[in-house]
């Protein structure tokens, strides 16, 4: 029955509806309040404060923080002063980040594709690949350090090499080898990404894969024409996330080396910012400026990735065909 036709209460109903909508909106905002407040207090405010700090030289005198306005001097120091290590630090960080992202994404995708096939003990293998990602990075790094360090210090890998008459390898002290170690550790702990890929692969339409098979297509054709278009959005998300975490590398450097050794090759950007902010004196303003430049660089990288996001969009024709079939 249509109430409007009989009683003419339509306006009341609309009003009630509007009132209800407001109430719901209020409830929604209240529910979201913890997150919003958290963002404002714990993210936005510190960001703006650090931007403000970046134009100051901050020292502590007689127990109180003294901030002297120095304009763009911190930024000038970063780019023009030969003592600044920003360029080397950001370079090694970005090299690590780009190579690491490529390795992690390709490795995880291959492992996920393999673990998505049906075979005995598949679940056991999935668990094995996932388990290392549960271990905190600190513990993982210590274990790898113990494995790869000098044989005289008890490094197992080098000891085994020595027993085989092979010269031990300076995994942790050679400027290039240390990167190999970091990549190995990164692959060791990427079980979370593998799990996400496996979950996404469940979404790949099986009938399309069968169709390609019937048309004489091979595994590569199946991946290229069906699997890849389906998982593209997740791939893009993982790419962004992996890039972010790679740029933020910190623990591995602090545990494996000191002072960014060897040859400052592990003096990653977050290590440097922490060092300037909390270890050195009078460099907190500089650290803020460095953090902002890193933020802008990360934004640019993300922007470029988003620019290419089009090629990561899920192919709609998949869904269309699926819907038609249904």
Partner 1 sequence: MKFGKRNLALSLALTMAFSALAGCSGNSNNSGNAKNAATEAPKASEAAVDKKDVSAKDITLELLYWGDDVQKKLVEAAAEKYTADTGVKINAQVLPADGTFDTFIQTRLQSGELPDISYMGEGDIQKYNEMGILADISDLLKDGSIPEKLPAITIHSPEQKVIGVGLSNQMELLFYSKSKFDEAGVSYPPTKVEDAWDWDTFVANAKKLTKDSKGKTAADAGFDASLTENYGLGFTAGREFHHFWAANANGGGIVSPDGKEFQWDSPKSAEGIQKLADLVNKDKVASPFTYTWSTGIGSAVDALSGGYAMAISGSWDLANIKGNEDIGIGVLPKMEKAVTMNAGAPLVVYNTSKHIEEAKKFYAYMVNPENSLELLKSGAWLPNQADWYTDPALVDKWTADLPESAKETILSYSTAKDAIVQWPAYYVPAYLKMNTEYEKSIDQALSGKKTVKEIYDSIMPAIKKLWESGKVS
Binding site for partner 1 (CB under 8 A): 20, 23-24, 26-27, 30-31, 33-34, 37-38, 41-42, 59-65, 83, 85, 145, 149-154, 162-163, 165, 167-168, 170, 172-173, 256-259, 261-264, 278-282
Nearer to partner 1, 162 or 240 (CB): 162
Reduce the secondary structure of the chain to three states and give it as a string: CCHHHHHCCHHHHHHHHHHHHHHHHHHHHHHHHHHHHHHHHHHHHHHHHHHHHCCEEEEEECCEEEEEECCCHHHHHHHHCCCCCHHHHHHHHHHHHHHHHHHHHHHHHHHHHHHCCCCCCHHHHHHHHHHHHHCCHHHHHHHHHHHHCCHHHCCHHHHHHHHCCCCCCCCCCCCCHHHHHHHHHHHHCCHHHHHHHHHHHCCCCHHHHHHHHHCCCCHHHHHHHHHHHHHHHHHHHHHHHHHHHHHCCCHHHHHHCCCCCCCCCCCCHHHHHHHHHHHCCCCHHHHHHHHHHHHHHHHHHHHHHHHHHHHHCCCHHHHHHHHHHC
Nearer to partner 1, 218 or 280 (CB): 280
Q: At its nearest, how many Å lie between partner 1 and the CB of residue 169? A: 10
Nearer to partner 1, 174 or 315 (CB): 174
Nearer to partner 1, 256 or 269 (CB): 256
Q: At its nearest, how many Å lie between partner 1 and the CB of residue 45? A: 10
Q: At its nearest, how many Å lie between partner 1 and the CB of residue 119? A: 41
Nearer to partner 1, 93 or 227 (CB): 93
Q: At its nearest, how many Å lie between partner 1 and the CB of residue 163? A: 7
Q: At its nearest, how many Å lie between partner 1 and the CB of residue 66? A: 9
Q: At its nearest, how many Å lie between partner 1 and the CB of residue 287? A: 13
Nearer to partner 1, 166 or 304 (CB): 166
């Amino acid at each position: 029955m249509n109430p409007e036709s009989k009683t003419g209460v339509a306006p009341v109903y609309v009003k009630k509806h509007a009132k209800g909508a407001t109430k719901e909106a209020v409830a929604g905002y209240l529910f979201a309040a913890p997150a919003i407040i958290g963002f404002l207090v714990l993210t936005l405010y510190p960001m703006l404060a650090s931007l403000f700090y970046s134009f100051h030289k901050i020292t502590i005198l007689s127990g109180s923080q003294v901030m002297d306005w120095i304009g763009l001097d911190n930024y000038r120091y970063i780019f023009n002063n030969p003592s600044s290590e920003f360029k080397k630090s950001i370079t090694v960080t970005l090299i690590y980040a780009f190579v690491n992202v490529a390795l992690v994404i390709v490795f995880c995708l291959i492992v996920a594709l393999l673990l998505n096939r049906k075979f005995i003990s598949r679940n056991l293998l999935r668990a094995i690949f996932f388990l290392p990602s549960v271990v905190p990075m600190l513990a993982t790094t210590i274990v790898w350090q113990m494995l790869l360090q000098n044989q005289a210090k008890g490094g197992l890998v080098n000891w085994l090499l020595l027993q085989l008459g092979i010269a031990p390898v300076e995994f942790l002290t050679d400027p290039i080898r240390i990167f190999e170690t970091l990549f190995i550790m990164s692959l060791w702990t990427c079980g979370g990404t593998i799990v996400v890929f496996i979950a996404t692969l469940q979404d790949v339409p099986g009938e399309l894969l069968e169709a390609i098979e019937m048309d004489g297509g091979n595994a590569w054709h199946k991946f290229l024409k069906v699997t890849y278009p389906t998982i593209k959005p997740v791939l893009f998300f993982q790419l962004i996330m992996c890039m972010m975490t790679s740029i933020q590398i910190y623990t591995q450097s602090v545990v494996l080396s000191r002072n960014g050794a060897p040859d400052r090759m592990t003096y990653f950007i977050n290590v440097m910012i922490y060092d300037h902010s909390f270890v050195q004196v009078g460099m907190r303003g500089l650290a803020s400026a460095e953090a902002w430049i890193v933020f802008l660089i990360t934004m640019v990288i993300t922007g470029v990735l988003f620019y290419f996001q089009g090629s990561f969009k899920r192919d709609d024709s998949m869904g269309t065909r699926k819907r038609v079939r249904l």
